[in-house]
Each structure stands twice: as C-alpha cells, then as structure tokens.
Structure 1
C-alpha cells in the first residue's frame, strides 16, 4: 500500500488589514497617500505598527489621487487611502483621470462597519437613505474592478484587485470596512507575484507570424506610439524593432518622452495636421504601420485630422488586430519579443528628410519676459533624466521642446484636469526622489491644488517649480473671453508661498520679469526647492496654443457659437499665423 504523502501547510493566520498592507508591499508599493478619517484609522494604525509602508498625508483626497497617479507612473503601481463617501467622491476625479490615462492606481476607501451594513444602520458619510452601494456604483464607471472586502472574500478580492490594476494598467476601487481590519483569517504564505497569464501558444505563434510577415514585406514600415507603450513597458522593445527594420517611430502627444528623442529613428509627434514637420507624411504614407495603444481624441489627432493607413496593425496590451484577424490571449511583450526575432534585418533604407531646427534667437536680457523667451530658456535648461510635468495651459508648449535622453513626461492629456500636476509632482517625487523634477505650470492651474506645495516642502523635496503669472486662464481666452473677467483669477504672491506654507523653509524663490532675471533664476543650484514666478502679459501666448484653442472653440460651440464675435477670442498675430 502506498504511503500517504505529507501535506504542507501553505497558509497562516493573519489580520485582514495586515494582509492587505503585506500584499501592497509585495506589489512594490512603498508609500500610501491620503487623509485619515474615522473609517480608515484602523488600517492606518496597522500601517504605523508594521512600519513597512510609509504614510504620505496630503491636504485633500483629490491631490492624494493625483499623487498616487504620479507615483504609479514611475513606480508601476500607486495607492491611496480615503474615507467613506466624502473622501471617496473627492478622489473620484483623480481616479477617473487615472482611468483615462491608463495608470494603475489602487483606491482604498475605509468604509462603514460591516455590522452597520448587515443591520441596515444609518451612518455618517453616507446618503442616509439606507443604501450602502452608492460609491461602489460610482467607481464602477471609472475603474477596472471594484469590491467590498469581507472576512470571507478578503484573500481572493485583495489579490484580484491588485493584479487587475497591474495587468490592465487601470485603477481599481476597494471598500475596506472599519470593523474587519483586526479580524484574523487564513491567508497564503506565498508572496503575490505580478505576472500576466502566459499567452495561448497557438495564438501567440500565429500573431507573431502575421505581424512579422507584414512588417518584413513592407517598403516603408513605421511605428506609432501612444502612452500604453510606457504603461506596458515595451518602449525599449519598440526601439529595438525600429532599429532592426530601420523604421521611423513617431509618438502621440500623450506619449511625449516615451521614445527617447535622441533615438536615431525617432521622427517626432504625430497628430494629423498638427504633426511636426514631415511626420504626417511618414505615418500616413506607411505601407505597414504598427500602432501601439492608439486612442484618438481631438487633442491627439489635430482636431480629428489624423488618418492612419487602412492596414494599420493595432497592438494593445492583451490583443492585436492584424487585418481582419483579432488575436486574443496574447501579451504585447511576448508578441514584440517574437516579432523582433522574426523580422528580417534591414541594413539601409532611403534617408528621410529631417526638418531643420529653428534657429535660436539671442534674446535681450533686459526686455520684458515673453512666452517665446521663456520657452527658449526652458529648452536650454533641460538635462538628461529629468522628470517633466505639464498642466493645462500654455505649459503645453513643453510638447514642442526637444527632450534630452531618459526624460519622463507626466501630464493629463486625455483627461485634462487642471491642477493635476501639483499632486502628481508630490507622488513622482516620492517614487523617485533622486531624479530632478521640473514642474511647468500656469497660475490658473496652480491655484486649484496649490496647497499640496506644503506637503512637498514638509518632506523636503527639491523640485524646480516654474510658474507663469499672467493673470488667469490664457488657454481659455483663446476659446472665448479674451478680456472677460470670468477668465481672470485673483493675483497671489506666488513666490512667497513656500515660506508661508512652511515657515523657516530653505527654498529659493524668484520673481522674474526679464529674460535676464529668468536666466539668473535657472542658474541657481538645485540643492533645495526652487520656485520661479515669471511675470507675463495676459494676452501673450504661444501661437500653437492659441491656434489649438481657436479650433477647439469651433469644435465645442459650432457655427452659431460666440467665438465669432469680434474681439472675443485671443488669436495669434498675423506674423505668427504664417509660421
């Protein structure tokens, strides 16, 4: 008779809250952003008792969600902790932005006790209507998965939500009742492993063969990259593929910096008629275009003037379209790995015309600071490895600058929530404090989330914050309201804010009014936080920004809109329009 095999116990007793924190740590999350509230204090106390994750208290749930987003962009996953209802809904806008931008964030809401749900007891931070699922329903529209954790489902649902966020590159929402954190349950002893399920072998082989065959047969192949190339970590593979094929690579503006702009085959930003010189022809005339994660909206397509070739190969994180065939159960990394091996090596192609760089003009250091002088100075200030932030407004001019190698661009291009970048700056600084971080922002966007500067100062971070003070929403003046007061904002002494928000701060602040002032400020050693307030005219704006706003008004308001009224739009000058 065969002897019985001994069984090995692969579980242990653990408190539910401790298990959640352990899983977050195993997923690579080292910091948790948010605000304390009575429903999440049990989990917060466990966090402090364990001493593994670091709590980063923010000034509001909205900025906590922005911070978790910025953190995830450099760390791979981010997380925030809020309280039921009031906290969850305050964070909803930022989590929706993470959904629109494909950023994996775990939103944990400390919620009302399970006993109150079981007994139907009314509690604060609810709608007081006897319903307990309102916020789960609200988050179902902007997250890839949602769950209320209980002692019965904790092991399965905690793992499912974390893995879903990582695999789908989308946010998830977890309600964590306040009375379960200290309950013991059986949990696995094995660590959580962030990995995709392996591809279906036949689908993977067929997909690789189909993609490689088309690319190898093409005379003018090209690659078009959206932000998912960064989210799924395949940018280096795309450059390796382009190098082997000698194929040009362009990016959507939402993917600025995803492809190293010093890469020999990088050609620039594609956006229909808004494309950089020569890029539109390269992409639209390609006889085999590989588009990765392409999601067109008016902001990324030159107001819908983009037109990809009909035979474009559309690659997503977990599926690929090749002609009439759709390949499921494959992963983008595995497909690209196989395609790189399978495509033929190309040693030479016909050289492409490259647009000449615009000559730089020597600015008068004593003249009043203008947008043109400002952006020329910022271009010269950039250096390899910078983390660069853009917010809605004239800071979109960053899209037109040439980035040095290994820079990271962080923005909310699809979602477009003003003030996003200040919270994102906190998160990304926390994830990568050793890199130089440069926030480029206007006064209007800054006022939405300016209070988070206090948290940045509290943790002694050292970013360079360059703010344009031009009295309001310049990008909106290009839509309508050139001189209307609804586009004006209260004027602050922005450069004084560091010492107001953190008395005794060592931050260096500057108010610059000329090109010379700006040059001096940018020449300061970055051994502490630098805050630069640049004074500019409210009607001074880069021509591309104004053209975009003017066209946006046509799309938004139609032929009967008020934008046709004389003098209601801020427009480029005649000379700028010709450029």
Structure 2
C-alpha cells in the first residue's frame, strides 16, 4: 500500500474492495449483514482477510435488510451485502421500508462481472435478456442514490453514496461487479468525514429570526414531532426549545419514545380523533405550531382526522416553511440552536393537567390470559433504557403504553411490513448488545421471519421475546374475515423453537395460558434469551386495535365492501388496554 507524498491531498493505492470496506468502517459501520453468493464472494474474502468489519450472515436477504435497518437506528448507519438479482430483489422490501421510515442503509450488491456487461455476455441471476440495468432501476424508487461501481468512478461514487445515505437518512444502492474488487486504484489517504453541508448564512439567520419571532409572539405555541427529529439528532434542541418557551410537545405514533414521556412538557401522541387525552386540543388550537418532519398517513393521523392549524410551520432537515416563505439550505439543528439563543425565556404558562394513572384491573392468577391482562403485564415489565420492538398486529397496543425514560422504540409504522421486527432485533442487538431488548410480536408476523431467531441464538444474544399465539392475523380479522380460514395460520410450538434452532443455546422458554403463568414467566431473570409464548383467544383484541381495523376497512373497501356483511368483522368488545 503505497502513499503518494508531497501533495495537498495525499493518495494511496488500494484495491476497490478494500477501499469500500475502509470507507464503511470510517463511517462508523462495524458489522455487515448479508448472504454469500458467487458475485459477492470477492468482497467477502477481502472482509475476512482485513478484519475491517464483522460479518453477520443471516438466513436470507430480506432479514439482512431488516437487520441493517435495525442496526442503523441505533448506530446511525447500517449496511448489507447481497448478490445480483435474486439477492437484491429479496432485500428490496426491507430497503423500501428503510426508505419509508427514513433510515440510512447502504445496500451493496455483488453483481455480474464488468467484463460480461461490456461484452453483453449472458449470466445467471439476470433476466437473460442482455439488459444489466434492471436492478439499478428497481432500486431507484426506494433509494435516494444508486450507482454501479467501476474502476473509473469508485472513489467518487463510494464516497457519494455513503455520504448521501448519512446526510439524507435514506438508503442507497451500489452494485460492485465481481471482477473489480481486487483491482488497485488511487484513493484518498485521508479518512471519510461525515459532515453536513453548511447552511447558507443569510438564509439561516433569516430563518432563525422569522421562526423566533413567530414562536415568541404566540400565546399557545406547541411542537409536533415525527421520526425525523430522532433521525437528524435534533431532539435535545426541541426539548430545550420547549423548556424555554414552556411549549407542549407531542409526537405522532411513529415517533413514540423520541421524547421522554416523563418530561414536563410532553403531552403524548397526536393522531387526530385518536389522540391521547388533552393532546388534540393543544395541537389543533395552537396559534403557532412547529411541526418537525411531519408526514401524515392514515396510520398516523387517526384515519385522516388530524387537522393541523392554518399557518403551521413545517420544519424539515434542510428546509423550513414559515407562512409564504420557504427557507432552503438551512440545517435544522442550526436553526433550532439559533432560535433557542434568540427567543426570550418564558417564565410560566398555564400548565397542562396531569393525567391520572390509568386504572389497573385486578387479575386472578388462575384466570385465562386476555389481551387486557397481557398489556397491563407488559407495561409493568418495561424498564428504563429498554429497546422495545413492535410488529404489525395487536402488538401495536404498545402505542397505548407509557415507555419508561431512555427507551428506544423500533417499528415499521409507515411501511408496515410484517416480520420486520425479528430482523431488526438482530441488527439492533448487534449495534447495542449492552442494552435490554424486548420484542413484542404476534404469531403471524413471527412466522414470516422466525428463522432469524437462529442467528440471534448463534451470536448468544439475550433478548426477551414476548409472542402472542392467537392462531393467526387478529388485526386482519378486524378488517375482514373474523373467522374465515384465510386469516388462520398453522400452529407452531413456538416456545420450543429456540431449542430446535440452536440445541445448545442457553434459553428460558415459557408457555403462558393464565395470568399467573405470564407473571411467572416475566419474573424470570433476563440473563439468557427469554421466550414467552402467550396463548389467547383469536377473537380477543384490544379495543383500540379493533376500532382502528374497522375504520381501516371503511377506508380500504368503501361503502360497497364486504365488511358490512354480518359476522365478517371482529368488532370492539370488552377487551381494553
């Protein structure tokens, strides 16, 4: 490895593969998830030889993409390695989810040799039609940038893609032809620096002045937070601003846990008519609402019942809308810091009433386990600093619980891909093994990606996996097909799976049929992997989940839909959380 001296920008000779691995490491990525294939083995051998990153082989490319997503949420950036075509398309769903959820993931596809592309040679894992751009085009709608690496563009494109993913908090896709990884090129000797593009000075100062004036003049300012507040690292600034203005803070459900629920200015989740008590009035009656990264869909707006005030200020990562004015080329963190310095301190405002603690229902140990008792037990089980995962289904009930301080919430709320959380659990466990990780999942979601439990066990991780076994897709029964067979799934002996997948693993498994069974299981020390299978009635669902499913059916199917036929929907009953 020869370094060229006496230049303003020293360079050195490196192979393309080694340079890529070096840049990933410099960007803070310590692990690479994926599945080996003949087109990516050259890079994998370089990874093995250099020890630059740790390889985490998964059971499939879909779960690799979920793992890279979960890893990025705690690490700031994640990466996966797949093979051409079959691997890339298997990972496409997970990368699309990262795009929808604003998570920076680098998808690297070992692709067909550049020689074959130049000569038009047919290769396996292609469409056999002579067109080698299909997968670059397939990834274009779900990534912010894409490129095929060549010896001529490798330095520019590798840096561009990594920096773009980090700056935009969105996934990127690169194809690395299998015959170029060992070719040497001249590369920068200096390390990659992750840095945002500086704000335009005039636009920044004008934006700060306008935003500070609007907030300072308001009688009832408020702040509404979406997930971008977390992705772009501005939560400390938003909390400091809320403290200075004595302004209430609310989140949408996708951003649960972003603001500490114990903070005196925190109100709760805003979802239109589905909001927590007191939140709707504070947000919708605000005379100066600052909405950060707000992206409304039916799942986050109470089925489109959310109504933000006229004149809401919309702040994004690199731009702010204030009235008729749009401020481009401004970094949100710099804007908020400037407003904190500029806006006057507000001594007091009318304090929001403190909600009384939710009434607890006494349950008998011998009583059959219900959703109501289950979620009450989960609330008691959570503790400060947990990483809490939710998958689609009745596990969305976690949105109605209060997370203790320091918890991180991981879910696929916008994208809603079932099975996401198992792969994400592997990724986040890899990024932060020192924290306690609690997976809340139903049997239907679990069956999609259950095989990744074997990788979790292989690496001796110790999460708590709390699984609801209720015979199928209960949330879908609320939409349509209360007792129809299409919402049923094959029953597994879920609690036995850890030992089947990894016989030598140290695991505690429990099957809970009664409230006492569940309490006993949750009292077990979490010094090894904990797997709790809770068996419940297929038609028992929390009222909020059933109500949301019923409304969702109206939106999805319209007035002529089959949901109006008798007994085709699971409807709100006695179960509550």
Q: Tell me the residue number matched to 2:245.
A: 245
Q: Tell me the residue number matched to 1:520.
A: 520
Q: Tell me the residue number matched to 1:70.
A: 70
Q: Tell me the residue number matched to 1:82.
A: 82
For this pair of structures, how many residues does the alignment match? Answer: 573
CA contact (8 A) 1:469 1:534 kept: yes
Are 2:401 and 1:401 aligned? yes
Shift of 1:505: 1.5
Are 2:155 and 1:155 aligned? yes
How do 1:126-525 and structure 2 match up within 5 A?
Answer: 126-525=126-525
1:331-367 alpha-carbon deviations (Å, 9 max, x no partner): 1111011011111101100122333222112211110
Other structure's SS at 2:190 match:
coil
Q: d(CA) in 2 for partners of 1:395 and 1:576?
A: 14
How do 1:3-42 and structure 2 match up within 5 A?
Answer: 7-8=7-8, 10-42=10-42
Structure 1 stretch 499-508 or stretch 435-444: which is displaced more?
499-508
Other structure's SS at 1:478 match:
helix
CA contact (8 A) 2:222 2:282 kept: yes
Moved over 6 A (4+): none
Shift of 1:168: 0.4
1:147-202 alpha-carbon deviations (Å, 9 max, x no partner): 00000000000000000000000000000000000000000001101110110000
Q: d(CA) in 2 for partners of 1:6 and 1:478?
A: 70
Q: d(CA) in 1 for partners of 2:179 and 2:310?
A: 56
Shift of 1:10: 0.7
Q: d(CA) in 1 for partners of 2:351 and 2:329?
A: 38
Q: d(CA) in 2 for partners of 1:192 and 1:327?
A: 29
1:465-507 alpha-carbon deviations (Å, 9 max, x no partner): 0000000000000001000000000000000000000012111
Q: Tell me the residue number matched to 2:105.
A: 105
Other structure's SS at 2:142 match:
coil
What residue ranges of structure 1 are gaps of 5+ in the alignment? none
Q: TM-score, normalised by structure 1?
A: 0.98
Q: d(CA) in 1 for partners of 2:255 and 2:369?
A: 30
Q: d(CA) in 1 for partners of 2:6 and 2:172?
A: 39
CA contact (8 A) 1:59 1:452 kept: yes
Q: d(CA) in 2 for partners of 1:163 and 1:339?
A: 28
Other structure's SS at 1:516 match:
helix
Shift of 1:52: 1.9
CA contact (8 A) 1:292 1:316 kept: yes
Q: d(CA) in 2 for partners of 1:468 and 1:44?
A: 38
Other structure's SS at 2:108 match:
strand
Q: d(CA) in 2 for partners of 1:554 and 1:7?
A: 67
Q: d(CA) in 2 for partners of 1:54 and 1:177?
A: 22
In the superposition, relative to structure 1, how do residues 9 and 292 fare at CA in structure 2: closer, same or farther (>3 Å)?
closer
RMSD of equivalent CA atoms: 1.1
Q: d(CA) in 2 for partners of 1:549 and 1:213?
A: 43
Other structure's SS at 1:29 match:
coil
